Amino acid sequence: MKRRDFLKSASALAASTAVSAPAVFSPAKAQSRQETLLIVSESGPNNLDIHGVGTNVPGYEVSWNCYDRLISHEMKTGSNGQPYYDKNKFKPELAEDMNIGDMSVTFKLKKKATFQDGTPVTAKDVKWSLDRAVSVGGFPTFQMGAGSLTKPEQFVAVDDNTFRVDFARKDRLTVPDLAVIVPCVVNSELVKKHATEKDPWGMEFTKQNTAGSGAYKVASWVAGTEVVLERNDAWMGGPLPKTKKIIWRMVPSAGNRRALLERGDADISYDLPNKDFVELKQDGKLTIVSTPYSNGIQYIGMNVKNPPFDNIKVRQAVAYAIPYQKIMDAVLFGLAKPLFGAVPDAPTEVAWPQPHKYNTDIAKAKALMAEAGYPNGFDTTLSFDLGFAGVNEPLCVLTQESLAQIGIRTTINKVPGANWRTELNKKTLPLYTNVFSGWLDYPEYFFIWCYHGKNSIFNTMSYQSKTTDDFIDGAVNAAATGDNATYDMDVKGFVDTAYADMPRVPLYQPYVNVAMQKNVSGYAYWFHRRLDYRTLAKG
């Protein structure tokens, strides 16, 4: 099919479904269009509450834009010349002042800040919200714990406009952890009206409704189809956004998303296949921004608790069998940083991510399989998140073909995006691919989440290593006390141990690729990798 015919076909399909932009934007609504952004993506949120059970990555985007935190980050210019969050500098959001003491931090709240129903924001709301975050369990509670925020007693409403956080110990991650998505401030009185004995934190209500003070509020949501957000004109967390309405449509077909962009009907898309991003950049009609994930990798994970992946030689065989360069060329089209093939005698860096020393070597992989007692291989499943199928599916197909050469016969398991986080956190998937990006850009933070053996929610490999745990704990303590020599030694130690045991095989450091119309400005990269609507505007 010729490109022109493909676009006509894609346009006709889009026009026959709910993704047709002209149904929203007519010439008679020029001003409305100027103040509205249409975003198209492969998948959408399964929960509007970051504290919810199994909230997926698209759900983070809703929370970020609809709720405030006490503080946020200043921006700087990134390596690609685009705005990029500054992990070392903070600015007020709900707070107007922050005073860091030796073992506590005190915030003065903005007196005019209100929730989206007009209720004033008070320190009692902040306390209730952070109490909620450390109490609901799962990801939110573990995230708070990563910054040594673990007990409701640490959060003190001094008066209506003064809030204090008492430190459990010296930890350089504590204050930065207050600027991530989880410690958002919830309208406590509103949510408590919808709480029950079985649901004391009102999570069934906030799954479907936003109850924040943020710059946007959800006007409507049809799961899997569309989210419509409207600007909160009383927002006090920063300059009032120029965009009044956000229409975020789920368009599963990458071809349709591209067609909508090229027609000018959609304003932004950020999960097209990499091939499309390369071609669109060459065409020059759209703005294409590519930014490496901060503290992030795509990897192949193995459940090391159960056979056959409890055998280190099997894991090493997998690491030698992965078709790294084929994935880089055929799936990513060069839009990623390789994390394989380090020079054999290259020293370990005090950094993350960094490449391991494996390359594709089928002969070595076969020999290791025989040594492991699996000369004829075995059968297993290879799972991926269908919500990001554009990369995950071809990656898994190439990996399946390569593993078959060493006798590992895989059935590909496509898990719907709305269920992926829940299935992953069961820690029962034998073999899978996933992306993880640590919100706080420190090596030890990534390893706390992904490799520590004690209650680490994203240690989905069920990996247990006292040596690794000791190195991680040592790095955390050394960072808090400023012991740089010990910190460097511990970081190198946990990287070396992880690469020796290889419970997960890093493939590459992904890029966030965003395609925008030329008249869209204000895109900024954030640690959560999602869109910040507050700075987006049409020229």
> Same structural domain for residues 22 and 103?
no
Please tell me the distance from the alpha carbon of residue 137 to that of residue 51, in angstroms, as a whole number: 9
> Same structural domain for residues 132 and 167?
yes
Q: Quick check: helix, strand or coil at residue 148? A: coil
Instruction: Report the pLDDT value the prediction gives residue 532, as an integer from 0 to 100.
Output: 98
**Residue whose C-alpha is closest to residue 424's, from 320, 342, 301, 315:** 301
Helix 484-501 with 443-450: angle, nearest 10 deg: 40
* Average pLDDT, integer, range 197-221: 98
Tell whether the model's pLDDT for residue 192 goes beyond 70.
yes
pLDDT digits (tens, 9 = 90+) for 477-490: 999 999 999 999 99
Cis preceding-peptide flag for 353 (omega within 30 of 0): yes
* Average pLDDT, integer, range 205-233: 97
Q: Let me know if residue 205 belongs to a domain.
A: no
What value does the CA radius of gyration of the chain take, rounded to a whole number of Å? 24
In angstroms, how far is CA 230 from the centroid of its own chain?
Answer: 23
CB burial string 14-33: b at 16+ within 10 A, e below: beeeebbbeebbeeeeeeeb
Would you state the torsion angle of the CA atoms of residues 444, 448, 449, 455, taken in this order, to the nearest 10 degrees? Answer: 180
Tell whether the model's pLDDT for residue 24 goes beyond 60.
no
> Same structural domain for residues 175 and 317?
no
Instruction: Report the pLDDT value the prediction gives residue 30, as an integer from 0 to 100.
Output: 59
Please provide the average confidence, as pLDDT, over all residues in the chain.
93
DSSP annotation string for 309-350 = TTSHHHHHHHHHHS-HHHIIIIISTT-EEE-S---TTPPPPS
Return the higher-pLDDT residue of 404 and 138: 404
Which residues span the domain enclosing 494? 296-509
* Tokens 């000791």, located at residue: 470
Tell whether the model's pLDDT for residue 424 goes beyond 80.
yes
CA distances from 129 to 97, 99, 307, 338 (A): 19, 20, 42, 40
Percent of the chain with pLDDT over 90: 91
Q: Let me know if residue 206 belongs to a domain.
A: no
Question: For position 487, which CATH number holds?
Answer: 3.10.105.10
Q: Tell the burial category of 362 from Cβ atoms under 10 Å away from its Cβ (0-12, 13-18, 19+).
A: middle
Q: Quick check: helix, strand or coil at residue 288? A: strand
Question: For position 132, which CATH number holds?
Answer: 3.90.76.10
**3-state SS record for 193-252:** CCCCCCCCCCHHHHHHCCCCCCCEEEEEEECCCEEEEEECCCCCCCCCCCCCEEEEEECC
Lowest mean per-residue pLDDT among 18-22, 167-171, 413-417, 519-523 = 18-22
> Same structural domain for residues 146 and 33?
no
Please tell me the distance from the alpha carbon of residue 537 to that of residue 241, in angstroms, as a whole number: 8
Instruction: Report the pLDDT value the prediction gives residue 147, as an integer from 0 to 100.
Output: 95
31 confidence band (pLDDT: 50, 70, 90): low
Q: Could you tell me the two tokens for 275?
A: 């091939």
Domains held by the chain: number: 3
Q: Quick check: helix, strand or coil at residue 384? A: strand
Q: Let me know if residue 207 belongs to a domain.
A: no
Tell whether the model's pLDDT for residue 520 goes beyond 60.
yes
* Average pLDDT, integer, range 425-451: 96
Q: DSSP alpha helices (H): ranges in 114-219?
A: 123-135, 138-145, 174-177, 188-192, 203-208
Q: Let me know if residue 371 belongs to a domain.
A: yes
29 confidence band (pLDDT: 50, 70, 90): low
Q: Let me know if residue 331 belongs to a domain.
A: yes
> Same structural domain for residues 109 and 178?
yes
Q: Let me know if residue 197 belongs to a domain.
A: no
> Same structural domain for residues 171 and 222?
no
Q: Quick check: helix, strand or coil at residue 452? A: coil
Tell whether the model's pLDDT for residue 25 goes beyond 70.
no
From 133, 158, 192, the end of a domain falls on 192
Q: Quick check: helix, strand or coil at residue 16? A: coil
Q: Let me know if residue 157 belongs to a domain.
A: yes
> How many beta carbons lie within 10 A of that of residue 323, not counting itself?
20
Contacts 24+ apart (CB under 8 A), 326-329: 326/398, 326/402, 327/395, 327/398, 327/399, 327/507, 327/508, 328/508
307 confidence band (pLDDT: 50, 70, 90): very high
Q: Quick check: helix, strand or coil at residue 35? A: coil
